Amino acid sequence: MADDVDVQGVRYEELAARYGTPLYVYDSAVLDAQFSQLRAALDPRLDFFFSLKANPNVAICARLAGLGAHAEVSSLTELLTARRAGVRPENIIFLGPGKSAEELQACLAQRIHAIVCESLGELRLIDSLARAAGTIAPVALRVNPNFSVKGSGLTMGGRPRQFGIDEDELMRQNGLSSRYPGVRLMGVHVYMGTRILDPGVVADNSRRIFELAERLSARLDFPLELVDVGGGLGVAYFDNEQDLDVDTLAGLLNPVLGEFRARHPGTRLVMELGRYLTAPSGIYVVRVRYLKSSLGQRFAVTDGGTHHHMAAVGIGSYVKRNFPIRLLGTATGAAEPWQVTGPLCTPNDTLGKNVMLPPLRTGDLLGVLRSGAYGPTASPVQFLSHGYPAEVLVHDGRPYLVRERDRPEDMMRRQHLPGALRARPAVPVR
C-alpha cells in the first residue's frame, strides 16, 4: 500500500501544523469525481439534490452547486446555507417532520421549488401561512408507503414513522387537492432508507415510488410536477462492503426513469444524495498523543474522538465495525493491532478496535477515511466542552480553512452565570 502523506500534493503534516488537529480535511477532487461519475452515468434529466444534512459546510455545498447539484434542506440555517452557497430558490426543497412556522414562512418568502409536507396538520398550517402571505404554496406530499424494501441501512416504508403521511390515509383524503386554497399540490416524495449499496434496490424503490405517485395523483387529482425518489445511496465503510456499482445502477435505473418520463414528460425527477456525494472526500485527521498498553493490548490515545465522529463508533450496529483508518505518514515495520481512542472520559470514545497499523510513535498523524458525511454535525461536539473541529477544503492544490475550530472562549460565550449563583469565597482558613 502506498503511503498516505498528502492530499492534492499538500502534506497532511503541513495542514496539521498550520490548522492544528483534530482536523477535517476535504478533497475537492474526490468530491468532483464522485459527483461527476454518477452524473455521467444516470439519465441527465434526473436532478440531483444535495442533502445538506450529510455535510452542511457552505463551501462543500457551494462546490457541489458549482458542479450542478441542487439542495434539499431541513432547517432554516440549511436554507440560508444553500442560498449563500449559490443555489437558486427554484432548485431548493425543504423537508422535515417538524417544520416551524418561521421555517415555512421563509420557504414561502424565498419561493423555493417545493415544501415537502409530512403531515395533514402541517398542510393546514402551510395553507394558513400562505394565505396570510398572499401566496400559494407549492407542496409535495411525503408518503410513508405501505411497502418496504430490504437492503437499506434503515427501513422506512411499511412501519409506523413520524415521517410522511401514511399511504392509506392519503388515499382516503377525497378532495384534498382543492381543500386548501393556499396550497397547490404538485408532487410526491418518498425516502426509503439510507446506506443502500445494492443498485437493484435503488431501481426497485424508484419503480415502486413512481407507481405510488401515479396512483396518488390520480386518486387525489393533482398534477405530478415533481417526483422525488429519495435516494439513500451508500458508500462502503467496512471490510465486508463494496461501493455501489455506478454502471450497474445506470443499467437498472435509467430504463425505470425512461418509462416514467415517457408517460410524464413534464415531471421533474429528483434524487436526493447526501452521504454518497460527500463521504469519500473527507478525512478526519488526528494526532497520537500517548501510546500505552493495557492487559496486553496496544492503545494509541489521540487528540480526536467520537465527539467529532460519532459514526465511527458504529452506524446503527451493536458490533463495532471500523471505518478505514490509516497512518498518514511513512510506515516502518509490520502492521499490528491497535486500539485507537480519543480524549473523552468514556470507553465508547473508540475510533477503531484492533486496527491493523504499523508501529506507531507519539506525534504520528492518523486519518479516519470516508468521513465527509455525518461527521461533526452528527456528533456530540459539545461533549467535554471540546467544541467543533476545524475544517479545511483542499481545492486546486490549495488549502482553504472553511470552518474555524471552536476555542474555549467560543464554548463559554453563550453561557450565563447569574450573580445569585456566583460562588462566594470560602471562609478564610486561619
Q: What size, in residues, is the chain? A: 430
- Interface segment toward ligand PLP; rule CB under 6 A; list 46-54, 178-186, 253-261, 388-396: 46-54
Tell me the C-alpha distance between 44 and 76, whole Å: 30
Residue type, 120: L
Tell me the C-alpha distance between 152 and 150, whole Å: 6
Would you count residue 151 as binding ligand PLP (CB under 6 A)? no
Q: In the beta sheet, which residues pair with residue 26? A: 282, 393
Which CB atom, from 95 or from 257, has the smaller least distance to ligand PLP? 95
- Interface segment toward ligand PLP; rule CB under 6 A; list 103-111, 272-280, 284-292, 297-305: 272-280
Let me know: does 184 contact 138? Beta carbons within 8 Å. Answer: yes
Neighbours of 155 (CB within 10 A): 15
How distant, in Å, are the alpha carbons of 42, 146, 232 from that of 257? 9, 22, 17
Would you count residue 273 as binding ligand PLP (CB under 6 A)? yes
Q: In the beta sheet, which residues pair with residue 349? A: none
What are φ and ψ of residue 7, in 5° steps? -125, 120
**Shortest distance (Å) from residue 76 CB to ligand PLP:** 17
Would you count residue 118 as binding ligand PLP (CB under 6 A)? no
- Interface segment toward ligand PLP; rule CB under 6 A; list 85-93, 268-276, 288-296, 389-397: 268-276
**Shortest distance (Å) from residue 41 CB to ligand PLP:** 17
Which CB atom, from 10 or from 235, has the smaller least distance to ligand PLP? 235
Neighbours of 13 (CB within 10 A): 16
Residues 346 to 375: which contact ligand PLP by CB under 6 A? 373
Tell me the C-alpha distance between 364 and 326, whole Å: 11
Q: Per-residue x/- marks for ligand PLP, 186-225, CB under 6 A?
A: -----x--x-------------------------------
Which CB atom, from 274 or from 282, has the smaller least distance to ligand PLP? 274
Contacting ligand PLP (CB under 6 A), which of 95, 141, 301, 340? 95
Q: How many residues bind ligand PLP (CB under 6 A)?
A: 15
Burial 168-200 (b: 16+ CB within 10 A, else e): eebeebeebbeebebbbbbbbbbbbbbbbbbbe
Which CB atom, from 21 or from 57, has the smaller least distance to ligand PLP? 57
**Shortest distance (Å) from residue 209 CB to ligand PLP:** 12
Contacts of 369 (CB under 8 A, 6+ apart): 283, 323, 324, 325, 326
- Interface segment toward ligand PLP; rule CB under 6 A; list 56-64, 244-252, 267-275, 361-369: 267-275
Tell me the C-alpha distance between 390 and 397, whole Å: 19
**Shortest distance (Å) from residue 277 CB to ligand PLP:** 8
Instruction: Return the DSSP state at 359.
Output: P
**Shortest distance (Å) from residue 366 CB to ligand PLP:** 25
Contacting ligand PLP (CB under 6 A), which of 157, 274, 367, 375? 274
C-alpha cell at 172: 382516503
Q: In the beta sheet, which residues pair with residue 297? A: 294
Would you count residue 51 as binding ligand PLP (CB under 6 A)? yes
User: Which residues make up the interface to ligand PLP (CB under 6 A)?
Assistant: 51, 53-54, 95, 191, 194, 230-232, 272-276, 373
